[in-house]
């Protein structure tokens, strides 16, 4: 079976302003299968965002292969939707007009765009805020809107870069649950970047653990727990502990 996304021996070097080079990813081979929920877990600076941006086609690899359905990635595409950590909504547009940005670029007429926006806003529980401006929303609501906007393009895969990283602990847990609910309805492929062991263990089918800078794959872990998951499930805490140790040993 061909993986939906595959990077083979992916290397990325940045050329720094001073002329030096910085190796961000030192040969990452990662495959993501169709409909899978994969978390990319690793310490800050290990190249997670870089890997995701390369897969999104926003950045190019220095070496190695980057494949989507077996074909080389040459740039961004509608089938790969991104959700960032920072609130990336356009502040001068209403929430609904932010969500329907993709359909608008695609040339869809206003009435259909509004229908699509309302449909996706309903899925994330924000229909009442369709005509609000982003600054009127809480951080959690803005991230819900950002997810609705990515979904409104009907992507095959959601590439999520620490989307809940700036939220308070309670909102974060709520949004994790909500994301899984949406994922279970739609069954998109999701690649979710995080540096939180707890978040990865709660969300993922499979966790790809990366080494500290420069990034490589340290280990891949299949998460055996059924959903909806409880942090109190037998074996859950032990697994979290094992992953934490893995990360700590690697940083020594
Ligand atoms: P992570 O998302 O895991 O925290 P990043 O992918 O953002 O890590 O960064 C990996 C490494 O590459 C870091 O050392 C970072 O400073 C460096 N880096 C990222 N983007 C650039 C860039 N545009 N120019 C130079 N260095 C960069
Ligand atoms: Mg990052």
The tens place of each residue's pLDDT in the chain, 252 residues long, gives: 789 999 999 999 999 999 999 999 999 999 999 999 999 999 999 999 999 999 999 999 999 999 999 999 999 999 999 998 877 899 999 999 999 999 999 999 999 999 999 999 998 999 999 999 999 999 999 999 999 999 999 999 999 999 999 899 999 999 999 999 999 988 899 999 999 999 999 999 999 999 998 999 999 999 999 998 998 999 999 999 999 999 998 876
Joined together, the tokens standing for residue 44 give 């800050």
Q: Other CB atoms closer than 10 Å to residue 43's CB: what's the count?
A: 16
Cβ of 43 closer than 6 Å to ligand 1, yes or no, is no
Q: How far is CA 171 from CA 29, 95, 212, 217, in A?
A: 33, 19, 28, 30
DSSP three-state, residue 240: helix
Ligand closest to 43 (CA) is: 1
Q: Could you tell me the distance, in angstroms and rounded to a whole number, from the CA of residue 176 to the centre of ligand 2?
A: 18
pLDDT recorded at residue 148: 93
Q: What is the pLDDT of residue 120?
A: 93
Are the C-beta atoms of 80 and 33 separated by less than 8 Å?
A: no
Angle of CA points 193, 61, 65, to nearest 5°: 90
Query: Quick one: which H or E segment has residue 207?
Result: strand 206-210
The full DSSP string for 43-109 is -TTSSHHHHHHHHHTSS--SEEEEEETTEE--S--TTEEEE-SS----TTS-HHHHHTHHHHHTT--
Sheet of 157-161, strand order: 80-83, 157-161, 189-194, 37-41, 206-210, 217-222
For the CA of 46, the closest atom of ligand 1 is: 3
| Ligand 1 atom nearest to 47, measured from its CA | 6
Closest atom of ligand 1 to 193 CA is: 2
Query: CA–CA separation, 155 vs 4, rounded Å?
Result: 13
What is the pTM for the complete model shown? 0.94
Check if 85 has its Cβ closer than 6 Å to any atom of ligand 1. no
User: What is residue 133's predicted lDDT score, i.e. its pLDDT?
Assistant: 97
**Pocket test residue of 13, 50, 192 for ligand 1, highest count of atoms within 8 A of CB:** 50
- pLDDT for 180: 94
- Residue 213 beta carbon below 6 angstroms from any ligand 1 atom: yes
Q: Which atom of ligand 1 is nearest to the CA of 48?
A: 3
Would you say the CB of residue 188 lies under 6 angstroms from ligand 1? no
Q: Is the CB of 53 under 6 A from ligand 1?
A: no
Backbone angles phi and psi of 233, in degrees to 5: -60, 145
Query: What is the C-alpha separation between 12 and 229, in angstroms, rounded?
Result: 36
Atom of ligand 1 nearest to the CA of 210: 3
Return the pLDDT at 186.
Answer: 85
20, 43, 44, 47: residue to mutate for ligand 1 pocket, most atoms within 8 A of CB: 47
- d(Cα 184, Cα 186) in Å, to the nearest integer? 6
> Does the C-beta of 48 come closer than 6 Å to ligand 1?
yes
CA distance 190 to 81: 10
The residues near 53 (Cβ < 8 Å, ≥ 6 apart) are 59
Please tell me whether residue 170 adopts helix, strand or coil conformation. helix
């Amino acid at each position: 079976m061909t993986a939906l996304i595959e990077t083979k021996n992916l290397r990325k070097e940045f050329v720094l302003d001073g002329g030096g080079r910085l190796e961000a990813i030192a040969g990452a081979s990662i495959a993501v299968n169709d409909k899978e929920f994969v978390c990319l877990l690793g310490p800050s600076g290990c190249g997670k965002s870089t890997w995701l941006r390369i897969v999104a086609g926003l950045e190019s690899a220095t070496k190695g292969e980057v494949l989507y359905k077996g074909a080389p990635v040459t740039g961004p595409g509608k089938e790969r939707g991104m959700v960032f950590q920072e609130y990336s909504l356009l502040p001068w547009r209403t929430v609904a007009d932010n969500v329907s940005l993709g359909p608008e670029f695609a040339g869809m007429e206003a009435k259909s765009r509004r229908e699509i926006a309302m449909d996706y806003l309903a899925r994330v529980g924000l229909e009442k805020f369709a005509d609000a401006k982003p600054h009127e929303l809480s951080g959690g609501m803005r991230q819900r809107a950002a997810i609705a906007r990515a979904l409104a393009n009907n992507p095959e895969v959601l590439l999520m870069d620490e989307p809940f990283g700036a939220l308070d602990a309670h909102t974060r847990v709520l949004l994790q649950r909500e994301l899984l609910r949406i994922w279970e309805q739609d069954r998109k492929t999701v690649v979710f970047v995080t540096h939180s062991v707890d978040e990865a263990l709660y969300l993922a089918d499979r966790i790809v653990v990366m080494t500290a800078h420069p990034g490589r794959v340290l280990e891949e872990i299949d998460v055996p727990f059924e959903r909806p998951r409880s942090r109190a499930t037998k074996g859950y805490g032990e697994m979290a502990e094992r992953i934490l140790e893995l990360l700590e040993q690697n940083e020594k």
